[in-house]
Chains A and B, each alone.
Chain A
Amino acid sequence: GIQVEQSPPDLILQEGANSTLRCNFSDSVNNLQWFHQNPWGQLINLFYIPSGTKQNGRLSATTVATERYSLLYISSSQTTDSGVYFCAVGPTGNQFYFGTGTSLTVIP
């Protein structure tokens, strides 16, 4: 299957700081999603972004499919942004491979 590497594995930020999370993948993909897993385990869909750039409030994402990476930007971080951020990729629409995540802690 496709290998997915996320970096950094852990990140601690002061409230209000900005951050960039990276997802590298080993093969061409037609599907890519970013998720936020909250402390209760719920997976929240942030972006579906196999290519291009999208923005939603303080969050934005960019995927450069030809170079096999995606970036998630968090601006003006808040304590509620804490949790684990996962990247999931798939060659087709029926199977996704997950990275091991970036654990984000935002301190007040």
Chain B
Amino acid sequence: DGGITQSPKYLFRKEGQNVTLSCEQNLNHDAMYWYRQDPGQGLRLIYYSQIVNDFQKGDIAEGYSVSREKKESFPLTVTSAQKNPTAFYLCASSIPRDGQPQHFGDGTRLSIL
């Protein structure tokens, strides 16, 4: 079945450490997205990519980095510059034009040790 796979489900980070969250999709979607969700809040866009080797910052990109070397993959790195990284991270994909919904993975919960 087609879908979006995020790994790991739970991740712990030490202070000053970079960590990378994986997102893979087999839906053949051109566009992929990373969102952050804090407790009791909606989702906020970190980065998005409409095509391989191209990506744009969302509303809260500071302290994060991404790459898009393959259509299927859009990994997110949470750097040590992100001072409050504890959150639930969700990856999504879509066909990037009007009339096409976003589909989401099951998320990764990141916590600071």
Which residues from chain A sit less than 8 Å from chain B, CB to CB?
1, 4, 30-31, 33, 35, 40-43, 45, 48, 50, 86, 88, 92-101
A86, B102: Cβ atoms under 8 Å? no
6 tightest A-B contacts by CB? A98-B42, A48-B101, A93-B97, A43-B104, A98-B43, A30-B98
The answer, yes or no, to whether B90 is at the interface (CB within 8 Å) is yes
Bound CA–CA A84/B109 (angstroms): 17
A86, B42: Cβ atoms under 8 Å? yes
Contacts known (A33-B101, A99-B42); A94 close to B106, Cβ less than 8 A: no
Bound CA–CA A48/B58 (angstroms): 22
The answer, yes or no, to whether B17 is at the interface (CB within 8 Å) is no
Which residues from chain B sit less than 8 Å from chain A, CB to CB?
31, 33, 35, 37, 40-45, 48, 50, 58-59, 88, 90, 94-104, 106-107, 109
Number of A-B contacts (CB under 8 A): 68
A93, B94: Cβ atoms under 8 Å? yes
B97, A1: Cβ atoms under 8 Å? no
Determine the chain A residues whose CB is within 8 A of the CB of B106 once the complex forms: 40-42
Choose among A31, A48, A96, A99 the residue that contacts B45 (Cβ–Cβ < 8 A): A96
Q: Looking across the interface, which residue of chain A has its beta carbon closest to that of B35?
A: A98
Which of B41, B59, B94, B109 has most chain A Cβ within 10 Å?
B94
